[in-house]
Structures are given as structure tokens and as C-alpha cells.
Structure 1
């Protein structure tokens, strides 16, 4: 049995084409992964956002329940960052492009 190849007009395929960016966004939305991805972006961009000096004194960075936990090896740095907590929060959320983190906790 031979299959006939139906001629396709160019417009019939164009309606199915979705930009890769939009396809990935809808996939993340469908599987409810966008929030987790944003948390990973926050952790991955810690050094970029805070700078090399802070990153060198950072032992651990993780997110839990919209809170960013940062373990530091320097007490003076911890004190300085606690005083600038709201600014750190703003910078981190600006990096992601939406409010992912509601609170920053320095350990």
C-alpha cells in the first residue's frame, strides 16, 4: 500500500510554528516548573549579583518557601548584609525579573 503525499501549502505549516522561547514558557507553565526554575536562577546568579568578594565568603545559598538562605563565613559581612537586606532582596528579584524571593535570611 503506497501513501500519497498531500501537497502542503506554505501557510498551513506556518500556523503550527511557535517560537522556541514561547514553547518553553508554555511548557514550564503547563508543568508548573517556572517557580522552581526562578529559584535556581536566583541561586545561580548569587555571585553575579553580589560580586566576587561576597561570593568568596559565601558557604551556601538555597531557597525554601520563597526565602533565600545565605550562609556566610564572615561575621562582619553578615552584619553589613543584614543592614542592607531590603536592597539585597530588590537586586535579586530584579535579576530574575519577578518577585521570587520574599525574604532573605543570613546564617
Structure 2
């Protein structure tokens, strides 16, 4: 058995227990304004991260269109922010 830092051990525990995806989703919601910007955050109703698919809920039609057009960039920004690939696709509703 190899030695792990506390951070590595916690990460491994979260992965094995299935908590990592929920913790990541909560963190994404909490830090959404920093990731997507104040305007996008203000008009985002909800975020759900489901198996690598980020579902963004908004009632603002122009924002939906903007998010759809910029989804590749947003995906890259989110993955860079987290330092790993957590989002593979984005749906806007």
C-alpha cells in the first residue's frame, strides 16, 4: 500500500463513496459567479451536474442563446477552473 497525502486520501474516499460528483456540483454552484461571470450567474436559475453533463437553467432567452454559442469555451473554462475534466457536455434549458 502506497502512502497518500491527506488531500489524496480524501479525494480517493470521495471517489470510491460516490460523493465526489455531488461535492463537485455543490462547488460548481457556489463558485458559478467566479466561473461564468456576474451577469450569467445573476440570470442562472439552477445548475445540475449529471455524469459529466452540465444542465444550466435560465429563463432569459438571449442568455440561453449566448450559452449555447459559447458552450465549448464555457466547458473549457469550467474544466480548467477545476483542474480536471468534470464537464463533457452542456445543455441549456
* TM-score when normalising by structure 2: 0.79
State the superposition RMSD in angstroms: 1.9
Tell me how far apart the structure 2 counterparts of residues 79 and 23 of structure 1 sit (CA, whole Å). 41
Write the deviation string for residues 27-80 of structure 1: whole angstroms up to 9, x where unpaired: 334534334322332232211111111111111111112110011121011111
Q: 1:95 aligns with which of 59, 81, 85?
A: 81
Indicate the residue corresponding to 2:49 in structure 1.
63
CA contact (8 A) 1:61 1:70 kept: yes
- Which stretch of the first structure deviates more once superposed, 70-79 or 18-27? 18-27
Give the aligned partner of residue 52 of structure 1. Answer: 38
5+ long unaligned stretches in structure 2: none
Who wins on radius of gyration, i.e. which is larger?
1
Paired with 2:69 and 2:19, the residues of 1 have a C-alpha distance of 33
Q: Is the 8 A contact 1:70 1:105 kept in 2?
A: yes
SS in structure 2 opposite 1:62? strand
**TM-score of the superposed pair, with normalisation by structure 1:** 0.70
Runs of 4+ in structure 1 off by over 6 angstroms are: none
Distance 2:50 2:11 in 1: 23
Gaps of 5+ in 1: 1-17
